[in-house]
Structure 1
Amino acid sequence: MPIDAAKAVAAEPRSAEIAWDHKDVQLYHLGLGAGVPATDADELRYTLESRLHVLPSFATVAGAGMGVVGGLGAPGIDIDLAAVLHGGQSITLHRPLPVAGRAVSTSRVAAVYDKGKAAVLVLRSEAADADGPLWTSDAQIFVRGEGGWGGDRGPSERLVVPDRAPDATVERPVREDQALLYRLSGDWNPLHADPEFAKLAGFDRPILHGLCSYGMTLKAVVDTLLGGDVTRVRGYRTRFAGVVFPGETLRIRMWRLTDADGGDGGGGDGDRVQVTVTAAERDDAPVLADTVVTVADPS
């Protein structure tokens, strides 16, 4: 079997130094569609170095996403990358991200689950600088055709959408060139740029990166419900439920979770915002599901 679950989980973590500066942060924000309108004071927080703050989802591309790369290269993992799908993503923030920084990213395979027709790798990366931990990130990676060895199936939690109108609904257009710009932050998969490669993967044209939709959604929540304060975000998780094509529109619905909605929305401290994301032009086809942003009270 190409995946040796026990060997992969027992392997020593891999560490690498990563660094970023304001240009990396600005490029990431632009790849999410920030800067429209270009002179808007709220947008300048994402684009102008003298006012810059860092959207927490930048953690997924800091160092060109070396945590996931390190996990896929772990002992016991020998897979065809064409069979790999990004199934979900979560980030826990230990403190606000600096505009420029240097850190050590440590990656390992935290778990391997047997889903029958597929395996799921949980690739965990932890980043810390001289002042201590910055973030912990888990990528859930589906590997088609690698299940069936009788291992632990792992969690399969699905969130029930609150049975009431959203507290906010916004739409965010995806530019025709957005995937071309977003990939400059480090994800060079030709699926997002090359029409011929996209056809080989079963799509009639290139698709948007799932992590781009992920970042766009967090920006919408921060701007709509958190007063633009990125430092209030403590955690963010999602399940990738469907594709987005450049030129489409994301419809983002947000609920501030209450006791009446069935609890705190995912465990741990802090208030929570539950989110669904759909493709507006395709009859609200699912894009992101089981999505929760954990937030701290305003300081």
Structure 2
Amino acid sequence: MWVMFTLMAAFMQAWRNAFQSELSRDVGVLGVTLARFLYAGPLAALYLAGLYLWQDASIPNFGADALGFILGAALMQILATALMVKLFQLKNFAIGAGLAKSEALVAAILGVAFFGTSLSLFGWLGVLVGTVAVFMLSSKGGLRTLSPKTLLLGLASGSAFALTSLWVREASLCLDVPFPHRAAWVLLLVILIQTVILLLWLLVRKPDELKAMMARNRLTLAISVSSCLGSIGWFSAMSLTAVPYVKTLGQVEIFFMMLVSSLYLKQKVQVKDMAALVLIALAAIMVMWPQ
């Protein structure tokens, strides 16, 4: 089941990133970041209500640990998204999103070191193979062609996304309800916190940026919908298995990303070495292999 949720998330995230890349041409970093959450709250609430209609469950008890993880994940995801949008403004869509995918390796290291994550040798190999493949695809001429600023922004974004994912999983595991419900509760609360913070900030500090975002309301809606559907997939998958496995399999987003980049954004994505795509497929097989 976690595999299906991850594939759905990767497909929707490729589209969300493409929409955000397009919006970033006219709207600032925080405005594009808010677009990810603005309309996602009501959709997440409808999803949670649908789960309770499908399977009755109690309202979870939100202890201090769960609330702390939820707040941390909300803030870290804002930072991660803002850094990735900045990447879009420095390089093209494929490079920006590709660099941010370093999160799988960071999640594996942090998960094992601080969160009690257990990975098999085959799982570690899958994470490493996927990371190499992503960096191969993130630059036309190898890592040497990337500026230090671009590389650092990509690693910072990937690290922030990794912490977001690890804290989302920890928050979900703290709740005493069935897995789809606990993932949906975490999703809803994270989105609401993010929306309130960013909306208030832009209203007070950058109202013009908010107006520019609302002028592209249809694109903003597309970002929110694809983001919410993607987050349902990510949060559900991470409630079922270790974050590094989810994020490594999620690198199949590169396939979707290249397709979207070529067909929707009309950007040329040149991949001289097709071995990188083979490596991504190999990494996906490794993390799906029975542990």
Q: Same fold (TM over 0.5)?
A: no
Q: By percentage of residues, which structure has more helix?
A: 2
Report which structure shows greater RCO (CA 8 Å, sep ≥6): 2
